[in-house]
Structure 1
Amino acid sequence: MRSYTCRVCGNRLFFENSVCVSCKTPLGYSRTERDIVPIDTDDRTYTDAEGTVWHVCANLGLSGCTWLTTEAGGLCFSCGLTRTRPNDADLEGISNYAPAERAKRHLIAELDELGIPILDRTDDPRGVAFDLLSSVAEPVTIGHADGIVTIDLAEAEDAHREKVRAMLDEPYRTMLGHFRHEVGHYYEAFLITDDETRARARDLFGDETEDYQAAIDRHYAEGAPADWQQHYISQYATMHPWEDFAETWAHYLHISDSIQTAEQFDLLRPAPTASFRERITKTWMPLSTALNMMNRSMGSEDLYPFVLSTPVLDKLEFVADLAAASGKAPAAEVD
């Protein structure tokens, strides 16, 4: 995450701040400026340098959204990507809706920082949409299908998420991680469109035309191969080439965001000219080792409990190159 500063008093701000705790100025997040900006206390608007008037998202009270929109009483770009949310009468679902939307905003802000286009499905059939569903009344399966990402809002509850994590023997499970993984499925289809890139992806991840249901059945019946850490980022990635790509994409975002945060808070010196592979080997590996030791010093689990073998580095490099080239795709409309 970036380090933000209040334009009124110079106090440090954080991504979700709606008010400066120092000068009490109301705040909003401008996606066009990628910055937190002051809101007029009288009419709750912000006027940018071009004279465009921006309004606070209608979901500020519902989900704590601080993003701005050009439409008075309308939804911001992030909230507009949500196709389905819980009914207001579903109090448990609504309570879990806010942290899910917060994770989605984090995801979109990072995609913007990396220059990766994210299209609104209501404007472009190639775009993405999100169904944020409550599993209070019936089970919800987290997944992706044809540009629709489905999230079980129960995953916002620490106890539920930890129970599932332990049951599946996962080293890591977060709401943001779910969003990063599921959009990985979307971007595999969105960005791999030519034969040469597809052939390279198959060399690294395997043949994506393999029967998916059969792969799921095999994985849960037999588990991951004994030597999985030599070839995959996680046990889940061994299930099917689609899951290998999505897991790799998620870790590309994990690593990119973590390095940027460390740079923003002066834990690292920025190295913008380094390749992503060099950033991993020379920056991320030493940093994540140190952070793991810090967590252990506090009696906590490792922050990044993953092994990055040479085949995994090859996959991460491919995904990073794919993401870097994605600027050639149609740009997202900013609202």
Structure 2
Amino acid sequence: MKLFTCPACGNLVYFENVACTRCGATLGFVPGEMVMAAFTPDGDRLWRRVGDANGQYRKCSNYAVHAACNWMLNADGPAELCAACQLNRTIPDLSIVENLPLWRTLETEKRRLVFTLMRLGLPLTPRSQDDAGLAFDFLADPDPSFNERGRVLTGHAQGVITLNIAEADPAVRVSMREQMGEPYRTILGHFRHESGHYYWDKLIRDSDRLPAFRRQFGDETLNYSDALERHYQSAPPEDWTQRFVSAYASSHPWEDWAETWAHYLHMIDTLETAYQFGLMIHPRAGDDANLDVRHDFDPCNQPVFSVLVDHWLPLTFALNSLNRSMGHAHAYPFVLGPQVLQKLEFVHLTVRDARLPV
């Protein structure tokens, strides 16, 4: 994630901020420029950008009405929703008071996904504009007890990503994390994983990359339902840590791809944050030169995958050490074996080839 500043006073602000904590200026993200801008009121529902005398803006409707977004639109355009919110096909029933804060949490994480996809230059068209586009359904369980019967299942089907809004409840998510044996279960992780299924359909399924995919990940025509049932009924392969990025990835080639895709997005976003902060890893003990790195490049535009790995491993070593100092478990409990790295490189090359022209 990039670092942003308030144009009105230069204060560092977060991607999610709607107001500057120093000067109080109204903030909004301008996706066409991938920047955070400061705004002053300029008539009915209109805003003018600080430092720009030309052009007016409007808040995305979900920003103005529900405080569930912080993206801005050019006032002369017809859209009421920003590029991220246009991807929504279904939002929760907001007449139920409890749904609004859950939906806001989901939208915050979804915008981080959309930001990274935009930074990588990946095709991102709303399903409302293209039958092959992407859509999100945010749904609530009919039974508030969140039991298995009648439960809304998080997943992807034909370009539609469905997310159960109960995932935005921390207590429910922790419970599900324990039940499913998924120690790294997060909302953003869900979004990244399910986007992997969408981009498999878009970038792999009908492309000349399919044979190479099968060599790396296996035959995706294997019965998917049977594979998942076997996964949940038995333990993963003993050597799964050497061949897969997660135990769940071992269930089926589609899930292997989606887990690897999500992990690649984890890497890119975290490395971009390290780059934005100008981090340098320079241990004062030991003599491993591989741990001595400076994060001095933009990972979203790095063509060589090995460079990403050379910077990723020292960063996660330091990240785990910092977490342990705070009394927490490792923030990055993964082992990237040679086969996993090959799969990650395949994702990297697929993303590079899919970049839209600037």
TM-score range, shorter chain: over 0.9
Aligned to 2:286: none
CA distance in 2 between partners of 1:26 and 1:50 (Å): 16
Count of paired positions: 329
After superposition, residues 116-265 of structure 1 pair within 5 angstroms as: 116-137=122-143, 138-193=150-205, 196-265=208-277
Aligned to 2:147: none
CA distance in 1 between partners of 2:61 and 2:356 (Å): 32
Change in CA separation of 1:267 and 1:75 when aligned onto 2, cut-off 3 Å? same
CA distance in 2 between partners of 1:132 and 1:63 (Å): 17
Change in CA separation of 1:22 and 1:84 when aligned onto 2, cut-off 3 Å? same
CA distance in 2 between partners of 1:284 and 1:56 (Å): 37
Q: Which runs of 5+ in 1 are unaligned?
A: none
Residue type at the aligned position of 2:104: A
CA distance in 2 between partners of 1:309 and 1:121 (Å): 37
Structure number with greater Rg is 2
Pick from 54, 72, 90: which aligns with 1:68?
Answer: 72
CA distance in 1 between partners of 2:352 and 2:207 (Å): 18
The reply on whether 1:309 has 2:315 as its aligned counterpart is no
Match of 1:91, SS state, is coil
Equivalent residues of 1:4, 1:35 under 8 A apart: yes
CA distance in 1 between partners of 2:356 and 2:104 (Å): 33
Alpha-carbon deviation of 1:193? 4.9
Match of 2:58, SS state, is strand
Match of 2:209, SS state, is helix
CA distance in 2 between partners of 1:101 and 1:90 (Å): 17
Equivalent residues of 2:105, 2:168 under 8 A apart: yes
Alpha-carbon deviation of 1:299? 0.9
CA distance in 2 between partners of 1:103 and 1:17 (Å): 13
Deviations 1:75-113 (A, max 9, x none): 111111111111122222222100101111111111111
After superposition, residues 51-90 of structure 1 pair within 5 angstroms as: 51-60=54-63, 61-70=65-74, 71=77, 74-90=80-96
Equivalent residues of 1:276, 1:317 under 8 A apart: yes
CA distance in 2 between partners of 1:178 and 1:163 (Å): 16
CA distance in 1 between partners of 2:256 and 2:98 (Å): 33
Once the two structures are aligned, what percentage of the paired residues are identical? 41
Alpha-carbon deviation of 1:73? 8.2
CA distance in 2 between partners of 1:223 and 1:216 (Å): 12
Match of 1:77, SS state, is coil
CA distance in 2 between partners of 1:17 and 1:196 (Å): 42
Deviations 1:204-227 (A, max 9, x none): 111111101110111111121111
Change in CA separation of 1:321 and 1:51 when aligned onto 2, cut-off 3 Å? farther
Q: Which runs of 5+ in 2 are unaligned?
A: 144-149, 281-294
CA distance in 1 between partners of 2:53 and 2:161 (Å): 35
The reply on whether 1:278 has 2:307 as its aligned counterpart is yes
The reply on whether 1:95 has 2:107 as its aligned counterpart is no
Deviations 1:42-65 (A, max 9, x none): 434245979543211111242431
CA distance in 1 between partners of 2:99 and 2:11 (Å): 35
Pick from 99, 104, 113: which aligns with 2:110?
Answer: 104
Q: TM-score, normalised by structure 2?
A: 0.87
Alpha-carbon deviation of 1:136? 5.0
Aligned to 1:31: 31
Alpha-carbon deviation of 1:320? 0.7
CA distance in 1 between partners of 2:79 and 2:194 (Å): 30
Aligned to 2:324: 296
The reply on whether 1:45 has 2:47 as its aligned counterpart is yes
Residue type at the aligned position of 2:181: D
Q: TM-score, normalised by structure 1?
A: 0.93
CA distance in 2 between partners of 1:274 and 1:118 (Å): 21
Match of 1:196, SS state, is coil
Change in CA separation of 1:195 and 1:132 when aligned onto 2, cut-off 3 Å? closer
Change in CA separation of 1:163 and 1:185 when aligned onto 2, cut-off 3 Å? same
Equivalent residues of 2:42, 2:48 under 8 A apart: no
Residue type at the aligned position of 1:210: L
Change in CA separation of 1:328 and 1:25 when aligned onto 2, cut-off 3 Å? closer
Residue type at the aligned position of 1:306: F
Residue type at the aligned position of 1:9: C
CA distance in 1 between partners of 2:297 and 2:67 (Å): 36
Change in CA separation of 1:303 and 1:85 when aligned onto 2, cut-off 3 Å? same
CA distance in 2 between partners of 1:149 and 1:307 (Å): 28
Alpha-carbon RMSD:
2.0
Residue type at the aligned position of 1:45: W
Equivalent residues of 1:55, 1:72 under 8 A apart: no
Alpha-carbon deviation of 1:69? 2.1
